[in-house]
A and B are shown apart, each in its own frame.
Chain A
């Protein structure tokens, strides 16, 4: 069996805002003073794992542990500063859904634009608009500009577009809490369907029962480093145990 995602010693450094010269004047002054300090903030440090098709890896850890940064590296948004990531197949990134929605455009146009941003073709998206809006239960509002949508409606639309393919790798960053209870169940069912069809899944969640229920393995991150990786029950219990 081939590997879907392979991360080898992956690290990522952000340059902290306070170290980044905001204006050219500051930069020039700092240059003269020889004070251009490049202090890096390592959000993820030396993380390695591999994921096979159909396997689900839950990622847990406190806020600021580097979970979202790791997701963005797998989704190709951030290139690793060190180390190497190899991803085989089509990636469906579900990170802050609806990024790229344009407030002034109708839902129809936004479905096409968002799907195209995710790497599909405009003509394919036009064919899928009906199915997507029906699944998101927004068919009646398809010609309305997105700016009059509620945040729940927008999240539903984003989820529907992002999952409207059969990805090889699915990256889910805390988006399972979209919409009301009924819609949450519907979204979970859809994700399970994608897993059953062979997608490798990386997902971040703070809801420990969901993590235990859905993962095959769990990766615990803290301060960008791997604390523990392995059996969901063991890792979640160790994480939940007061230190």
Chain B
């Protein structure tokens, strides 16, 4: 048997290069894990994957009733509140669920990782990609609502993969950070759940930006997610490009976070399984 496989425990581990090689070598597994994440979660429920759609739709319905009927939010321009709300909810759900799922991926796969050699980052990336696919599916009802409410679907919808891609990098980077820490401190997962929810409130998902008092605007702009969301909304229903600075924030923050996440993960990988 001519095999070129060689395992040497002394082989140095280079950040990024090692992760990329691992992900490529295990791309088959990555695909299986994404499918498993998407289907198994709802396997025993009658509605199955439809829950992917129902979940944000129910949230949106309740928020829509509260804010548009009780509080009577008025939107500037001719975008109906429901499109504004749903687009915000979907995007923030992608962020928070992605970070939480990626963050708990290693702890949750402990039983496998402590018995079979699999690069742990494959499990983490599968969770991030599953969140992206979920997000993609959940865009369908948003587009339907845009058609019904007469907003229509602009050509820039074809550019939606751009903010989605950078959000994926952000989710993967933050998720790897959380995942590395969660192995040592389980609390990190609860903390992450709270923090992602809070940053969601600080992002204009359900309130219009015109509601923010002038002096608090810098706080909103300082939140990187505001940039992602503005770009996304621009592409999905406005048919417009968001200001250039938001693109700078989006690309910059996602690349920096991803590099930090990968670096921390590489530093701690050797201890991960031993601690598990």
Contact = CB atoms under 8 A, between A and B. Distances in A.
A86 B8 contact: yes
A99 interface: yes
Contact of A80 (B9, B28, B31, B111): B9
Given A95-B115, A118-B116, A77 B273 contact: yes
Contacts of A242: none
Contact of A88 (B5, B116, B274): B5
A81 B1 CA distance: 31
B275 A20 contact: yes
A179 interface: no
A102 B274 contact: no
B116 A93 contact: yes
B9 A85 contact: yes
Contacts of A80: 9
A221 B199 CA distance: 53
A14 B273 CA distance: 10
B31 A122 contact: yes
Contacts of A239: none
B6 A88 contact: yes
Nearest to A104: B43
Nearest to A23: B187
Nearest to B115: A99
Interface size class of B (residues with CB under 8 A): 20 to 34
A84 interface: yes
A198 B3 CA distance: 13
A57 interface: no
A116 B28 contact: yes
Nearest to B10: A84
Nearest to A88: B6
A118 B117 CA distance: 7
Contacts of B44: 104
A21 B183 CA distance: 11
A193 to B, nearest CB: 14
Contact of A168 (B1, B43, B117, B118): B1
A222 to B, nearest CB: 22
Contacts of B10: 84
Most buried by B among A72, A83, A90, A95: A72
A127 to B, nearest CB: 13
Most buried by A among B8, B115, B186, B270: B115
Given A27-B185, A77-B115, A105 B9 contact: no
A86 B9 contact: yes
Contacts of A91: 5, 7, 117
A77 B275 CA distance: 12
Most buried by B among A12, A80, A113, A168: A113
B267 to A, nearest CB: 14
Interface string B184-201: 111110000000000000
A99 B9 CA distance: 23
A122 B270 CA distance: 28
A243 interface: no
Interface in B171-230: 184-188
A144 interface: no
A89 B8 CA distance: 11
Interface string A110-152: 0011001111011100000000000000000000000000000
B274 A168 contact: no
A79 B112 contact: no
A166 interface: yes
Contacts of B187: 23-25
Given A23-B185, A90-B5, A102 B36 contact: yes
Interface of B: 1, 3, 5-10, 28-29, 31-32, 36, 40, 43-44, 111-118, 184-188, 270, 273-275
18 contacts: A13-B274, A77-B115, A77-B116, A78-B274, A79-B273, A85-B9, A88-B3, A89-B1, A90-B5, A91-B117, A95-B115, A96-B115, A99-B116, A100-B112, A113-B32, A117-B29, A117-B118, A198-B1
Interface of A: 12-15, 20-25, 27, 72-73, 75-81, 83-91, 93, 95-96, 99-100, 102, 104-105, 112-113, 116-119, 121-123, 166, 168, 198
